[in-house]
Amino acid sequence: MSLINITLIVYIVASIAYIIREIWGSSGAKWASLGLLILAFCLNLTMVAERSIKAGHPPFSNLYESLVFYACCTAFIYIIFEFVYNFRIVGALASILSMLILFYATLQDDTIRPIMPALKSNWMLIHVVTYMLGYAAFGIAFVTSIIFLVVKPFAKKGNESEDGREILPRNFDRLSYKIVAFGFPFLTLGMITGAVWAKKAWGDYWSWDPKETWSLITWLAYLVYLHTPLVLPKMNINKSKASVMLSIWLLVAFGIVNFTFMGLSYLPSAEDSAHVYGSK
């Protein structure tokens, strides 16, 4: 069995363990689920390192490599927040998200090809790593938003389950905001380093090709999200409605992230873009 298949299985088992943890609520289940996810992350990281050695360059030159690294970053970011905020059921969906990203990688061409001269730059490493960490954080915020929107109706009349445990931790809606606030600087740094890299490689900081334009749209989407909580109270929108609106906004914003990352290459207008090499 290949390493990628083993990693997929461990991600699935980790997700099941998180669900069992939520049902039982025992400390043993907590450490078992987290341990399985850490194991999946280590296997995923091994894939990244192995690919880098085989290819002779950072493994970001095509969609297959980028997806493998994206899945790895998603697991990594979640594990960090697991220790900080002691997540519960979020871990199940975070594991599934990493698994789905990695599964999508198996559908791509994994052939190792020489990279173009413009990509042989340290700026590529910094640019891609920072962007992926930002995307990974937004993926976890996407997960917490889904949980909030699905569970919130059941928590209206009381925020406790039959066994007395909270259905949602207090201020759970603020969790997504904190995660986006964590990821946004990485996205910003990714844009800045990308502009510097473009200047070195192609002579211009910004050329307004489709990839750059949609990267800016992504950045603006999350910038608006971060500032919206300051505006909504002035519009007499109560906290409950504001939380729902912000969660829905994050679902849309993460859709923009994935379109920018993967979907853009399918547009005819992006065929000649120098920035969609990762999707070919």
Range with top average pLDDT, 16-20, 111-115, 183-187? 183-187
**pLDDT number for residue 229:** 83
Residue 107: HSE in the Cβ half-sphere, 13 Å Cα cutoff:
7
**pLDDT number for residue 162:** 46
270 band by pLDDT with thresholds 50, 70 and 90: low
**pLDDT number for residue 35:** 93
**pLDDT number for residue 10:** 96
pLDDT mean over 241-263: 90
Range with top average pLDDT, 25-39, 214-228, 234-248? 214-228
- Tell me the C-alpha distance between 5 and 17, whole Å: 18
Q: Is the CB of residue 7 less than 8 Å from the CB of residue 44?
A: yes
pLDDT mean over 52-69: 88
- Tell me the C-alpha distance between 175 and 148, whole Å: 10
User: Whose CA is closest to 98, among 67, 52, 56?
Assistant: 67
* Ramachandran bin of 64, using left for φ above 0, alpha for ψ from -120 to 50, beta for the remaining angles: alpha
55 band by pLDDT with thresholds 50, 70 and 90: confident
Q: Which are the contacts of 61, defined by CB distance < 8 A and separation ≥ 6?
A: 55, 113, 115, 119, 277, 278
Q: Which are the contacts of 50, defined by CB distance < 8 A and separation ≥ 6?
A: 3
- Tell me the C-alpha distance between 261 and 263, whole Å: 6
User: Whose CA is closest to 114, among 61, 76, 78, 151?
Assistant: 61
Q: What is the mean pLDDT of the chain?
A: 84
Range with top average pLDDT, 150-154, 171-175, 251-255? 251-255
Residue 25 has pLDDT above 90, yes or no: no
pLDDT digits (tens, 9 = 90+) for 202-230: 777 777 778 888 899 999 999 999 998 87
Residue 114 has pLDDT above 50, yes or no: yes
Residue 188 has pLDDT above 90, yes or no: yes
Alpha carbon separation from 239 to 54, 65, 226 (Å, rounded): 52, 42, 15
Tell me if residue 207 falls in helix, strand or coil.
coil
Helical residues (DSSP H) of the chain, grouped into ranges: 3-24, 27-55, 63-85, 90-106, 122-151, 172-202, 210-231, 239-258
Residue 168 has pLDDT above 80, yes or no: no
pLDDT mean over 65-69: 94
User: Whose CA is closest to 146, among 254, 230, 224?
Assistant: 254
